[in-house]
Amino acid sequence: MNEQTLSRRLERVAAHVPQGARLADIGSDHGYLPVALMLRGVIEVGVAGEVAQTPFASAQRNVRKNDLEDRITVRLADGLAAVEAQDRISVISICGMGGDTMCEILEAGKQRLAGVKRLVLQPNGAERELRQWLMGNGFCIVNEELLRENRFDYEIIVAEPGSVAYTAEQLYFGPVLMQAKSEAFVVKWRRMLKQKQQTLANFARARDAVPQVKIDDFNQQVGWITQVLG
């Protein structure tokens, strides 16, 4: 992967960034996403935010290598602190980190989301919690994708300002994903069903009592998955 050839995962993230966007990519690492989108003429302005020194330096290097210093600003900053009012950012992408970390970043930087028209999020886990945060903070999910790459399932969640009330099942599976029920979705949830059933069997055999609330939660998940797979 490089700034010309993105991974399939980042390519699908890129597809949700609209033409003319002013993009802030938080946790940008090498900065491949904003650099690729700038080279393709998709974004007008880019900010690459990084909290760690080594990836920050890598993003700076890639921006410089492509002569994009006047179009992409690389900032060493924690989460949305990389977004400044004068950037007039319209789209924020956060990809390749835990959903719980994303919730913390969004919660801590809430006031910097004013004026943002779209979030493109690719969490590694805790998707339910992330959807819950979005719903509780005035965002509705306008699109979702599920893809498998290198033996991992990746979900992409695209959200825009709006109010919505999702059911517990929609938060769990994703409102768009459960509606579309793609092949990748069915394969993922068949696999998850087996795992959850195995965990329940392990609970039953466990020497120390597993808290009933945990068993109930797993049983509920097994029920939802069985139902959604129909």
Ligand X SMILES: C[S@@+](CC[C@H](N)C(=O)[O-])C[C@H]1O[C@@H](n2cnc3c(N)ncnc32)[C@H](O)[C@@H]1O
Binding-site ranges for ligand X (CB under 6 A): 10, 26-29, 49-52, 55, 78-79, 95-97, 101, 105
Nearer to ligand X, 63 or 225 (CB): 63
Strand partners, 139: 161
Strand partners, 43: 21
Which residues lie below 8 Å from residue 145, measured CB to CB, with a gap of 6+?
12, 155, 156, 177
From CA 212, how far away is CA 146, in angstroms rounded? 32
From CA 128, how far away is CA 104, in angstroms rounded? 14
Q: What is the smallest separation between the CB atom of 76 and ligand X, expressed in angstroms?
A: 9
Q: What is the smallest separation between the CB atom of 37 and ligand X, expressed in angstroms?
A: 13
Nearer to ligand X, 45 or 80 (CB): 80
Nearer to ligand X, 156 or 225 (CB): 156
The position carrying tokens 């195995």 is 198
Q: What is the smallest separation between the CB atom of 14 and ligand X, expressed in angstroms?
A: 11
Nearer to ligand X, 17 or 105 (CB): 105
In the 8-state DSSP scheme, what is residue 195?
H
Q: What is the smallest separation between the CB atom of 105 and ligand X, expressed in angstroms?
A: 5
